[in-house]
Structure 1
Amino acid sequence: MGDPASIGPEITVKTLADKTIYDKCQPIVVGDVSVMEEAVKIVGRENDIKIHGINSVDEALFTPGTIDVYDMKLVDINELKRGEVSIMSGNAAFQYVKKVIELAMENKIDATVTNAINKEAINLAGYHYSGHTEIYAEFTNTEKYTMMLAHENLRVVHVSTHVSLREACDRVKKDRVLEVIRIANQACKELGIKEPKIGVAGLNPHSGENGMFGREEIDEIIPAINIASEEGIIVEGPVPPDTVFSKAKGGWYDIVVTMYHDQGHIPLKVVGFVYNHEEQKWDAVAGVNITLGLPIIRTSVDHGTAFDQAGKGIANELSLINAIEYAIPMAQNKKVVEVCN
């Protein structure tokens, strides 16, 4: 459900109001019944959507028009202030994530899809994580992982994410770059791409221009690419950062390995987030955030809590729909792999 004070509950209702979702999967919302009932009213669907509280996956109905909510009972609806950071909401958001991970690790669900959490709120509640990715890594005991962002045929993975830019440059090391190339290759195969083509972005302008603008490409990135190529991975680079994404969008690459957070996030959000200036609203907030390298499937919306829109019923649900639609084939392909193994 995401942070109770965010747009998460509202876009969840909007998404699951689409009956075709139930033709593709069996959705369960982990959250609070009281918050979801209020969200139904906020988006104006109280006449055709009902909330069904459950205490176990076995109790879910999976019926269009009825949203099954695994009720954690963590929010006092009379104390909830939408659009504001609070310890109550931070605690609830963290506990929802922890519970959905537990359900997946126990094989009670096939995939997890997350709405946004507020990092300040969960830290105020005493949980010191920089985001979903780090929470998933800890509670699945995963050491080698990375974030992937996707919008249509543009996909990016990151060598580093939530660290300062200065530290991000220091983290561009051969072993980590190679690790992310391998994870990217496997991720594409799990999405059904038989022979993934991987583009690796440089760190420096013009990919260092043969050492004129930095040596990271020569000392760290190229050696990693060479090893991956020797392993049979189809990989190219380092490609100058100002052209690699246009090439990927044009079909040259199935995925791009980026060196730091904003290098990957900016191009994805430029193509996925579309603001209509005349109507003063977002026509699209699309894109998916996926954590790779985990023993379970995790996809997510590619936007924040949008506290400024919370409680107004105007938030765009497209990114959540995208996240669900990405999780389904990943779950299906994972089952095929498990059967084959």
Structure 2
Amino acid sequence: MSPALSDLPLAVTMGDPAGIGPDVTLAAWARRRDCALAPSFVIADPALFEARAALLGIAARVTRIARPEDAAAVFDDALPVLPLRAQLPPVAPGKPSVAHAAAVIESIEEAVTLVLSGRAAAVVTAPIAKFVLMQTGFAHAGHTEFLAELAVRHGHRPRPPIMLMASPRLIAVPVTVHIPLKEVVAALTQDVIIGTARTTAEGLTRFFGIARPRLAICGLNPHAGENGALGHEETDIIAPAIEHLKADGIDATGPHPADTLFHDAARETYDAVLAMYHDQALIPFKTLAFDDGVNVTLGLPFIRTSPDHGTAFALAGTGKANPTSFIEALRLARRMAASAAETGAVRAS
């Protein structure tokens, strides 16, 4: 009998080895008991973590494991590391190198393979530097798009992936993500809003245990268009999409003026907010949850979380990197796996 999803270890990717990924991974492991962390393992070069632990003064024993199934027996006493096949060239904290790209990509690919083969519960990604990977021909804007491609490689047909930012104070989803602001209007269609809202609502039920999620949907223009005086996207695109969602049984409201949607009382009225563009969601989210926010990808046939920060090369190896967001990414991945195990529906996304 196969183990339940919630009983499997989490697969943690290496991230950019010159960034703070190794730092926060080690710091999280050092707090494993205080934070009640479930077993996980890192797909990386063990020597990288041994060297970084010594540099940071973290008393962490790094143990090579041959397979994910060994992680649980090791995790309480040592950080389990599943070695990469690719050789990792020397790493200087704070100094990214194209020479590290192959190992970074292999770590992500292996994590997805292990999760989709039922040997790990979820993928938790450490931050990568897209500009480094792109110098080697990496064709994706970020983790999210690459993970969707990997799902296709494994024979799945994922929905367009959705970036959900989660914290105890706010769940926010940008409908359009990493595109120039001047391209948002052309990219904003009823179908895109409807698809994002459906994936969000289903994800909140499957992975967050919210039986009937309440979605608040932002307008695009100031004051949600002011009845057409400041723009027609609300009346022509957003409002019809909301009516369609209501007809489908989704509890969606709006279009709401974004400038009145994020204060304390307003946040009590919804479970998640859908913003029309990246900064409309990320500015309030990071204002409220800069240290403990978690980036979740919905629409994939597996669970993926990550901290909501980047590589922070200037902090790598200094001991100043805050591991809270990474710890919360690990904890949320475990909770999502437990919720998915109850519904048996993780691969329906």
TM over 0.5: same fold? yes
Match of 1:338 in 2: 344
Match of 1:281 in 2: none
Match of 1:84 in 2: 95
Which letter does structure 1 place at the counterpart of 2:44?
Answer: G
Match of 1:303 in 2: 309
C-alpha deviation, 1:26, in angstroms: 1.6
C-alpha deviation, 1:322, in angstroms: 1.0
Of 163, 166, 176, the match for 1:150: 166
Match of 1:278 in 2: none
Q: How does 1:1-341 map to 2 (within 5 A)?
A: 1-20=14-33, 23-46=36-59, 49-60=60-71, 61-72=73-84, 74-76=86-88, 79-141=90-152, 142-190=158-206, 191-246=208-263, 250-273=267-290, 285-338=291-344
| Structure 1, 291-300 or 120-129: larger mean CA deviation | 120-129
**Separation in 1, partners of 2:88, 2:241:** 51
Which letter does structure 2 place at the counterpart of 1:198?
Answer: L
| Structure 1, 330-339 or 169-178: larger mean CA deviation | 330-339
C-alpha deviation, 1:91, in angstroms: 2.5
Question: CA RMSD for the aligned pairs?
Answer: 1.9
CA deviations over 1:290-320 (Å, ceiling 9, x no partner):
1011110000010010001111121100000
* Contact residue 153 and residue 251 of structure 1 kept, 8 A: no
**Separation in 2, partners of 1:232, 1:56:** 44
**Separation in 2, partners of 1:69, 1:116:** 17
**Separation in 1, partners of 2:106, 2:159:** 22
Unaligned runs of 5+ in 2: 1-13, 153-157
Which letter does structure 2 place at the counterpart of 1:64?
Answer: D
Which letter does structure 1 place at the counterpart of 2:187?
Answer: R
Task: Tell me the SS of whatever aligns to 1:217.
Answer: helix
Which letter does structure 1 place at the counterpart of 2:102?
Answer: N
TM-score, with normalisation over the residues of structure 2?
A: 0.89
Task: Tell me the SS of whatever aligns to 2:63.
Answer: strand
| Structure 1, 84-93 or 240-249: larger mean CA deviation | 240-249
**Separation in 1, partners of 2:95, 2:85:** 19
Which letter does structure 1 place at the counterpart of 2:213?
Answer: P
Task: Tell me the SS of whatever aligns to 1:236.
Answer: strand
| Structure 1, 292-301 or 140-149: larger mean CA deviation | 140-149
- Structure 1 residues 74, 42: closer, same or farther in 2, change over 3 A? farther
**Separation in 2, partners of 1:11, 1:238:** 39
Task: Tell me the SS of whatever aligns to 2:62.
Answer: strand
* Contact residue 85 and residue 120 of structure 1 kept, 8 A: no
- Structure 1 residues 165, 208: closer, same or farther in 2, change over 3 A? same
TM-score, with normalisation over the residues of structure 1?
A: 0.91
* Contact residue 149 and residue 156 of structure 1 kept, 8 A: yes
Which letter does structure 1 place at the counterpart of 2:124?
Answer: V
* Contact residue 169 and residue 289 of structure 2 kept, 8 A: no
* Contact residue 57 and residue 70 of structure 1 kept, 8 A: yes
C-alpha deviation, 1:177, in angstroms: 0.2
CA deviations over 1:250-304 (Å, ceiling 9, x no partner):
311110011111111111111123xxxxxxxxxxx22100101111000001001
CA deviations over 1:219-277 (Å, ceiling 9, x no partner):
1111110011111111110110111222676311110011111111111111123xxxx
Task: Tell me the SS of whatever aligns to 1:303.
Answer: coil
Which letter does structure 1 place at the counterpart of 2:98?
Answer: I
C-alpha deviation, 1:184, in angstroms: 1.3
**Separation in 1, partners of 2:257, 2:284:** 14
CA deviations over 1:81-135 (Å, ceiling 9, x no partner):
2212311223222221111111111111011111100011111122121100001
Task: Tell me the SS of whatever aligns to 1:28.
Answer: strand
C-alpha deviation, 1:73, in angstroms: 5.0
Aligned length: 327
**Separation in 2, partners of 1:247, 1:184:** 22
Task: Tell me the SS of whatever aligns to 1:70.
Answer: strand
- Structure 1 residues 339, 296: closer, same or farther in 2, change over 3 A? closer
**Separation in 2, partners of 1:76, 1:257:** 40
- Structure 1 residues 269, 248: closer, same or farther in 2, change over 3 A? farther
